[in-house]
Amino acid sequence: MTKQVEQGIKRLLALYASENICHDEMWENGSVKPHWHSLIAYMQGLGKQELTQRHEDIKKILRENGVSYNIYDDPQGMNRPWQLDPIPLIVSKEDWEVTEKGLKQRAELLNLILKDIYGEQQLIRKGFLPLELIYNHIGFLRPCFQLFKNQAYPLTFYAADTAKTADGRRWVLGDRTQAPSGIGYALENRSVMNKVMPEFFQNQHIKKLSHFIDILQNTLFDLAPQHKENPRIVLLTPGERNEAYFEHAYLASFLGYTLVQGQDLMVKDEMVWLKTLGGLEQVDVIWRRVDDAFCDPLDLRADSHLGIAGLVTALRKGNVSVVNILGSNVLENSALMAFLPNICRFYFGEDLIFPSVATWWCGQEKEKQYVLENLEHLVIKTIYPQGSTNAIFGNKLSKEALETWRTKIKAKPYLYLAQEQLEFISTPSFFNQQLEPRHAVWRCFLLGNQKNGYTVMAGGLTRSAAERNNLIISNQKGGISKDTWVISSESEAQMRPLRIHIHQQNTTISSRYAENLFWVGRYAERAKLSARLLKIVIQKYNETQLSKRKSDKKLLYNLLCALTQFTMTYPGFIGDGSKARLQKPEKELLAVAIDSSKSGSVASVVQYLMRAVYAIRNCWSADTWRILDQIDDYWKMLSQLPELNLRNIQMALDQLITHLAAFAGFNKEILNRKYELPLFELGKRIECALLSISLSRSTLTLVESAEVEHGLIETVLACQESLNTYRFKYQSYLHLQTVLDLLLLDGTHPSSLLYQLQVIQNHLKCLPKFNHFPKLNEEEKLVLEALSILQLSDTHLLASHSSKSFIREDLEKLLSKIADLLAGASTAIVSRYFSHAQIQQQLSGVQELKDL
């Protein structure tokens, strides 16, 4: 390191050094540790301003990619953007060697314990594990006894939260064994850091994460029962409201697995099946992100709506594999740490390489007394989490609170444990445009299989505290993530790639996925057409304000009423109180635009669209997600403006229409043309046809004066992007019959009703058929009938009316009939392809979780 670089580093770290840090990942005895030199020199080269800009770039990329972590009861909303510190955690080669060896030993040990607990139970018989500690834990599932006796690695996927103390020793703070989260976020963190700091990655030897992902794919492939050649692998998620739903969707998309919820799967003939658009397809491997007790409402928790009824039976028969095996939550009992040293010597004849935090389980009399006497110096926990946090620091409790905890422990000692409060070292983080020391926890991931034993991910997910001197590090408490760089030699960085099993998943999609895709198409079209009509009505309102002509007032009246009918935002300009709203329509027009609580408003439709979009998060590309993110963010921002007027709304509607058009265009490029694109287009075209009919019924069926009728026709054409087409084709005055020819019967015009029905008919042919005969389904019959009625119609008769009538009755009857047929076809599609089997549950009723 040159003298100039060294001086630059000192300038950058001047404030950091002034913190009087005793023990830090980067800082030691007043200088930077050797394996941090390159990063600090690089940061110095960037400068404070550029580093701040890179941090902003990170935020922008994460936001545009839709990377989020759901925070429960967060005032900012559930989908809070993921936060990534531009300063990584750097792990030296020497530290990595010890870490890798220690984690492998611990994983092997926990795997043996898991097999024993649900198998021979020698550890309980020989006194290494207290029976009460296991059987009183909520994670011990009796129906899973002997469930995986022939499986070498039931603990397939394991994660350990680790941190260092001042003496340089790394400690395991907690074990994650049932459904470890974070690997997807670790991959996204690395991807973003590669984009923001590409020049640094080119010049440094940092271990890659791809090797671990290759092993993950091979491991899941090899878990398929009977070594099936092309297994179907699914990722089971609790759903879009889960805190890590982004990660579930990200991993499913990244690895090419089907993302499913419990309602997508069913057990039949002791096998697990995926309910797809084309029928049932057998599932071979389930990578679950649902807590194990919720995975089967028949044998486990009866009140669960997240699992698959009969899954335990299918597992017992060996017809499906689950990662991790059900019942592995029992290993997350922190009190086990007190017994691991002896169990390690029993199995391996050696000490633990990674010590656990000193732990006292209160179910033992001697340990209980020690805890009660030293409570103010210890960290209090329960054997399974209860509430938002499971760590109470005794030194922060009042005398009254300490006595309350002593009473709790004496009442049910087997539920509590206490641990030594260690002083962990800090790590540098970038806050307020400067480096600050924060406590951090490194979550390390391991995979176990029969070929290689356990493999450690060369990196992982590091999280730092949201506040200085805060020892509680949690994403739910606002923790900040870090990329984790493991330094390697050049030869290690160029590791030879694995030979990966190549398998092709069936392109058939799940019924729930298909349903959401269908409704995304419908909501996107509804939002676009509603925005377009609202924009035109606002424009007409602005033009009419200065006009004294009765025809202009009448036109505006008709358009306001049509807007309410079109958007179904009743009572609006039609029902109770409409007279006052018609006199001063601004407030109602604003509500139709931005009031998300008002059913039918543009904001509510956008909200429904985003829910359907998020339910199939893995469907969308990064570019598509940027468009969706802009739509969502802009409308949220608009609703929070202190002063909102119709001009703001018009500008917002313009942006919304543009973004929705871009969204539809991108989908034609990214969606699978076998089922995905036809379903999206099917929803879009059905909605377009129904809304076009609704608009025509509320405007063109009315008999009005020539001036008013001209304005209504012009509005209908503009709303359907047909005004220029009409002028080019007919080059004449707006005449109702020729307008109906264009909007109803011109099969070459993309906005015509005939075109919509023809496209719907063609897309229905793409959907799977459940009979072996050339027989039309119910929805196909209804669409064919609508087409026939439309094609047999006469626009001359449709445009005419009796002298005594205020309604064009023939046009009204035709449009009403076609609307009914289309609504029936939509219902038939939902019933045939999207309906799910009733959720099975125990006949005995809901089980309640109680302290044992």
Residue 849: inside a domain = no
Helix H or strand E segment including 439: strand 434-449
What residues contact residue 572 under an 8 Å CB cut-off, 6+ apart? 563, 564, 578, 581, 588, 592
Comparing 205-209, 536-540, 631-635, 771-775, the range with the smallest average pLDDT is: 771-775
pLDDT confidence band for 300 (50 / 70 / 90): very high
Whether residues 73 and 135 share a domain: the answer is: no
Provide the number of structural domains found in the chain.
Answer: 5
- In this predicted model, which residue has the larger pLDDT, 241 or 122? 122
Residue 504: inside a domain = no
Q: How many CB atoms lie within 10 A of CB 5?
A: 16
Whether residues 454 and 385 share a domain: the answer is: no
State if pTM tops 0.75. Answer: yes
Whether residues 344 and 374 share a domain: the answer is: no
Task: State the Cα–Cα distance between residues 639 and 29, nearest whole angstrom.
Answer: 53
Determine contact, residues 823/815, Cβ cutoff 8 Å.
no
Whether residues 140 and 61 share a domain: the answer is: no
Q: What is the DSSP letter of 444?
A: E
In 223-262, which residue ranges form alpha helices assigned H by DSSP? Answer: 245-255
List the one residue out of 729, 726, 656, 719 whose CA is nearest residue 692: 719
Whether residues 290 and 372 share a domain: the answer is: no
pLDDT confidence band for 843 (50 / 70 / 90): very low
Q: What is the signed CA dihedral for 32, 37, 40, 46, rounded to 10 degrees?
A: 150
What residues contact residue 642 under an 8 Å CB cut-off, 6+ apart? none
Boundary (domain end) residue, out of 81, 99, 126: 81
Comparing 16-20, 764-768, 812-816, the range with the smallest average pLDDT is: 16-20
Comparing 40-44, 286-290, 680-684, the range with the smallest average pLDDT is: 40-44
Whether residues 559 and 652 share a domain: the answer is: yes
Residue 640: inside a domain = yes
pLDDT confidence band for 588 (50 / 70 / 90): very high
Per DSSP, the chain holds a count of helices (H) and strands (E) of 30, 23
Q: Is omega for the bond preceding 672 within 30 degrees of 0, making it cis?
A: no
pLDDT confidence band for 847 (50 / 70 / 90): very low
What residues contact residue 716 under an 8 Å CB cut-off, 6+ apart? 695, 696, 699, 700, 739, 743
- In this predicted model, which residue has the larger pLDDT, 849 or 175? 175
pLDDT at 702 over 50: yes
Whether residues 524 and 645 share a domain: the answer is: yes
Determine contact, residues 330/322, Cβ cutoff 8 Å.
no
Residue 677: inside a domain = no
Q: How many CB atoms lie within 10 A of CB 781?
A: 15
Boundary (domain end) residue, out of 493, 512, 537: 493
Q: Is omega for the bond preceding 571 within 30 degrees of 0, making it cis?
A: yes
Q: What is the DSSP letter of 28?
A: E
Residue 24: inside a domain = yes
What does R_g of the chain's alpha carbons equal in angstroms?
32
Determine the distance from the C-alpha atom of residue 584 to the mean position of all C-alpha atoms in its chain, rounded to a whole number. Answer: 42
* Helix, strand, or coil (residue 65): coil
Instruction: For residue 664, give its domain range.
Output: 520-671
Whether residues 384 and 338 share a domain: the answer is: no
Q: 37-64 and 3-12 are packed helices; what angle lies between their axes, rounded to 10 degrees?
A: 50
Whether residues 738 and 805 share a domain: the answer is: yes
What residues contact residue 153 under an 8 Å CB cut-off, 6+ apart? 111, 448, 449, 450
Boundary (domain end) residue, out of 54, 81, 108: 81
Q: Mean pLDDT, to the nearest integer, of 567-583?
A: 93
- In this predicted model, which residue has the larger pLDDT, 825 or 651? 825
What residues contact residue 117 under an 8 Å CB cut-off, 6+ apart? 123, 124, 129, 134, 140, 327, 330
CATH code, 363: 3.30.1490.270
* Helix, strand, or coil (residue 360): strand
Which two structure tokens, joined as six digits, stand for 643?
A: 């002063």
Whether residues 353 and 306 share a domain: the answer is: yes
Q: Mean pLDDT, to the nearest integer, of 426-434?
A: 83
Whether residues 351 and 365 share a domain: the answer is: no
Helix H or strand E segment including 322: strand 321-323
pLDDT at 850 over 60: no
Residue 474: predicted pLDDT: 56
Q: Is the dihedral of CA 838, 839, 844, 848 positive or negative?
A: negative
Which two structure tokens, joined as six digits, stand for 247?
A: 């990660």
Whether residues 408 and 550 share a domain: the answer is: no
- In this predicted model, which residue has the larger pLDDT, 430 or 492? 430
Place of tokens 């969502």: 632
pLDDT at 432 over 80: no
* Helix, strand, or coil (residue 774): coil
Residue 502: inside a domain = no
Residue 514: inside a domain = no
Burial class from Cβ neighbours inside 10 Å (0-12, 13-18, 19+) for residue 580 reads exposed
Residue 844: inside a domain = no
